[in-house]
Amino acid sequence: MRRPVVGIIGNSHLINDQYPTHAGGTMNSEAVAEVSDCLPLLIPSDPRYVRVSELLEVCDGILLTGGRPNVHPEEYGEPETPAHGAFDRNRDALALPLVRACVERGQPILGICRGFQEMNVAMGGTLDPEIRDLPGRMNHRMPPDGTLEEKFALRHVVRFIEGGVFHRLMGAIEVMTNTLHGQGIRTAGARVVIDGHAPDGTPEAIYVREAPGFALGVQWHPEWRAASDPVSRPLFRAFGAAVHAFAAERHAPDNARRSAETPRSMVG
């Protein structure tokens, strides 16, 4: 029996500052394959090459990864400033409508770092361009120097709403996480519930209220050592369980017959 497919939204990258590629972190594929028990499929983050409707057909779940470029502020009605950093408008054009489509049809989606922010913007929320400049906030950015172990080291607590989605998923009301981001949620989008915060008040965990399927996002990077980390493992296992359930439902024989009888124009 084949594993369900998780589409991993990658990032644009230049090899040797010259050769354009679509890239995805190995640790994302490892988490999907080894912890979620799904087939990782790297997706070019460019709507010139892939359509949302195609991704919904091919993939059983979607992982929105982190990335250095930020969501362009025009996507939430604000002008661009130097504080907003670099952008990837092609990824914006693909990821934001993909979030909305997955939420609408109950297709499992997990957002990480930039993906967390994409989920909020897709649902109508806004972002702060540089949270370390806000009064009372800490520096959540990746340490500029050091090994990967040092960059991804656990650096602060995240506290969840008691009895909420993440409290139940993690079995704990407080967990330790890494932190490698510059931007953060300013205002939550429609139906976006902020379910966890850092000690300085920065939103760290969200879900989409009344979504018919798995629709969670985290500001930290759970893909780092996902198989062994006590916070990352339950998140990727829950995501994988949701993807397996979605795939089993839509690939059941009765559903397959119904799909075959449905006009192409009405699918997706």
Instruction: For strands 215-218 and 109-112, give the pairing.
Output: parallel
Catalytic residue list: 113, 221, 223
Side chain identity, residue 151: K
Query: How many Å apart are CA 140 and CA 155, to the nearest integer?
Result: 9
In sequence order, what are the residues at sequence separation of 6 or more whose Cβ sits closer than 8 angstroms to the Cβ of residue 72?
Answer: 80, 84, 87, 89, 92
Structural contact between residues 33 and 78, judged by C-beta atoms closer than 8 angstroms: no
Helices within 35-179 (DSSP H only): 52-58, 89-105, 114-122, 148-151, 165-170
Whole-angstrom CA distances from 58 to 45, 100, 115 are: 15, 17, 20
